[in-house]
C-alpha cells in the first residue's frame, strides 16, 4: 500500500508543470531578435549615408520577419512614407 502511494505521488509530481505558463512580455526581452538586429543595421546604414544598403536590409526584414515589431515601420520607409531615422 505504501509503495503504491509513493509511486502515485512520484508519478503525479513528474507530470506537474515546473512553473506557471504565461506569455513572455516583449517589453521585458533581454535579447534582440533577428528582425530587431536587421532594423538596427538598417538604421546604421542610414546614418552612414548608405541608403541602398538600408533599403536592402529593410526589404529583407519585411520579407523574412513580417511579424517583427519593426516590420510596419520598415514597410512605411520602403513605401516612402517614413523618415528612415526612427
What is the model's pLDDT at position 7?
Answer: 80
DSSP label at 30? S
- In terms of pTM, does the model score above 0.95? no
**Cβ-based neighbour number of residue 29 at 10 Å:** 11
**Cβ-based neighbour number of residue 42 at 10 Å:** 26
pLDDT digits (tens, 9 = 90+) for 6-65: 787 677 666 656 666 777 776 776 677 899 999 999 999 999 999 999 999 999 999 999
pLDDT at residue 86 tops 70: no
Amino acid at each position: 500500500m505504501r509503495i503504491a502511494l509513493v509511486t502515485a505521488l512520484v508519478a503525479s509530481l513528474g507530470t506537474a508543470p515546473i512553473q506557471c505558463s504565461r506569455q513572455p512580455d516583449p517589453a521585458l526581452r533581454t535579447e534582440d531578435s533577428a528582425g530587431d538586429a536587421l532594423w538596427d543595421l538598417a538604421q546604421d546604414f542610414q546614418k552612414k549615408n548608405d541608403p541602398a544598403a538600408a533599403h536592402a536590409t529593410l526589404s529583407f526584414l519585411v520579407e523574412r520577419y513580417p511579424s517583427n515589431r519593426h516590420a510596419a515601420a520598415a514597410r512605411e520607409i520602403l513605401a516612402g512614407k517614413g523618415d528612415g531615422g526612427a
